[in-house]
Structure 1
């Protein structure tokens, strides 16, 4: 869903990625994209990071089947809202592969998206399946305070999430 990820970037082997990641003073690795589940060696990368005692998270658009993801990997799966133009790609079968360590994220563009997301939360009983259900506003489209108010008034056990890199480094449009 990040178009530039299809055309830009640098191809790296798992060993090259590990050398870069090992250079940071953290044991948390977040694999994100584009769509990381489309990368042919993503499962090899997951295993290698886990063997090095990393906590591994993957952010996925959720349209690629998650059945084969190592259960030690924390999955953060998007359910695309209607205003994204990608809702038809949601693979609801993936919900069965989510665990109490995982998260579901809705990126909300407007009130209609919010109401749609609330219906999906209830329809799939997401709060009983996953650790967190996250609602995030579309950057520069939906004011944070609007979404915060809707979440508070909804009474649903969901959390609001901001793209912190956009708040901390607003001058850097991507790649943070």
Structure 2
């Protein structure tokens, strides 16, 4: 299936099953990044993504999965009695009922976050949800897909993430940080691309430039490498 067929339109259930979503996996693990790193979390990974980032580590979520009713997804999350739930992908917003899922999880009292690639409109997401949104760097190969109109919708509870592959990506990220005054709007995360950029190098650059960002290293890759279900 070519990438053009993995858009939001092809991933939506038909109108008679609008409360269903295509799910790749639901699992319980430690959050590996962002503000709640290290906390036990239920992850709900939706299937499908319109992007093809060079460093993607979840290509298995592009296709397949199974349709699940919203109530069945909520029951699976409830099994672990979590405090935190993260909806991720793929690109979870590529499925229209994702917003309904987010609201339903919030209604259950969970602290809910969504991981989104930043190429789909985030307007109208339940305000109780913490948005973790990428701005795709040149090294991702998908810089052109950044939807900068998303930035005004971000709030202090949200986060913008830059996955940085090299010095060119770093300079680009610094420029976007300044241009959009991102640190005045939300928390900013700089993450070294696993296997491409030394975390030490990135740490030194951040310190040299006195950047108002949080550096993060993906905890789950240190603990479990790229094993699924973690």
- Structure 2 residue aligned with 1:162: 217
Following superposition, the deviation at residue 174 of structure 1 comes to 4.2
Following superposition, the deviation at residue 12 of structure 1 comes to 1.8
- Structure 1 residue aligned with 2:72: 16
Residue 188 (structure 2) pairs with residue 133 (structure 1): yes
Following superposition, the deviation at residue 45 of structure 1 comes to 0.6
Which one is further off, 110-119 or 33-42? 33-42
SS at match of 1:66: coil
- Structure 2 residue aligned with 1:75: 131
- Structure 2 residue aligned with 1:4: 60
The 1-side partners of 2:224 and 2:60 are apart by 19
Which of these residues, 82, 99, 124, is aligned with residue 155 of structure 2? 99
The 1-side partners of 2:88 and 2:153 are apart by 18
Deviations 1:92-125, CA, capped at 9 Å, x for gaps: 0000100011000000000000010000000000
- Structure 2 residue aligned with 1:38: 94
SS at match of 2:201: helix
Following superposition, the deviation at residue 3 of structure 1 comes to 3.2
The 2-side partners of 1:139 and 1:145 are apart by 12
Residue 182 (structure 2) pairs with residue 149 (structure 1): no
Following superposition, the deviation at residue 173 of structure 1 comes to 4.0
Structure 1: 4+ residue segments shifted above 4 A: none
- Structure 1 residue aligned with 2:41: none
Highest RCO, 1 vs 2 (Cα 8 Å, sep ≥ 6): 2
The 2-side partners of 1:88 and 1:70 are apart by 27
RMSD across aligned positions (CA): 1.2
Deviations 1:127-149, CA, capped at 9 Å, x for gaps: 1100x100011111111111111
The 1-side partners of 2:197 and 2:64 are apart by 28
The 2-side partners of 1:153 and 1:23 are apart by 46
Following superposition, the deviation at residue 175 of structure 1 comes to 4.4
**Equivalent residues in 2 for 1:49-60, closer than 5 Å:** 49-60=105-116
Q: Of Structure 1 and Structure 2, which has the larger fraction of its residues in helix?
A: 1
- Structure 1 residue aligned with 2:145: 89
SS at match of 1:59: strand
Q: 1:175 to 1:87 in 2, by over 3 A?
A: farther
